[in-house]
Amino acid sequence: MLKRVLIGLIRSHENTSDRAKDPKLKSHYYRLSKDRTWDEVISILKKMKGYRVLHEVQNVGEIVMEKKTVSGRTMDITIQIVTASPGTTAVDIYSASRGSLGDLGANYRIIQEIYSVLDRKLSNNKI
């Protein structure tokens, strides 16, 4: 946790991928088609308190959201939903803070919060 805060002193973004060194920043996979994953994820995200869906492009699999922090900063979040293999979909998240200072690990925590909610709601399909 301290490492995340120290990294966050200078960095104001975080993202997930298959190649992430931190296991908590690895892509999450679900045993669902892309369309079904899209329907589930968009429904879940629209119900999350404190988050606002700004833009959604289903054919590209991209959802753009924002979250206002307690300190008044705005976080821009992009969720990418892609087909990994037939019947399997990957979900990646990119979160960035507006402004020039670091985020003190806020983007990392936002990614963990979104994945936690998605994994709980889609637990039967999590890989």
Reference 119, options 44, 51, 47; nearest CA is 44
pLDDT (tens, 9 = 90+) of the chain, 127 residues, equals 555 455 545 668 889 999 989 899 999 999 999 999 999 999 999 999 999 999 999 999 999 999 998 778 899 999 999 999 999 999 999 999 987 676 777 899 999 999 999 999 999 999 9
- Position 99 scores a pLDDT of 78
Which CATH homologous superfamily contains domain 2-125?
Answer: START domain (3.30.530.20)
- Position 72 scores a pLDDT of 82
- Position 11 scores a pLDDT of 67
First to last CA, the chain: 26
- Position 87 scores a pLDDT of 94
Q: Where are the domains of the chain?
A: 2-125
- Position 17 scores a pLDDT of 94
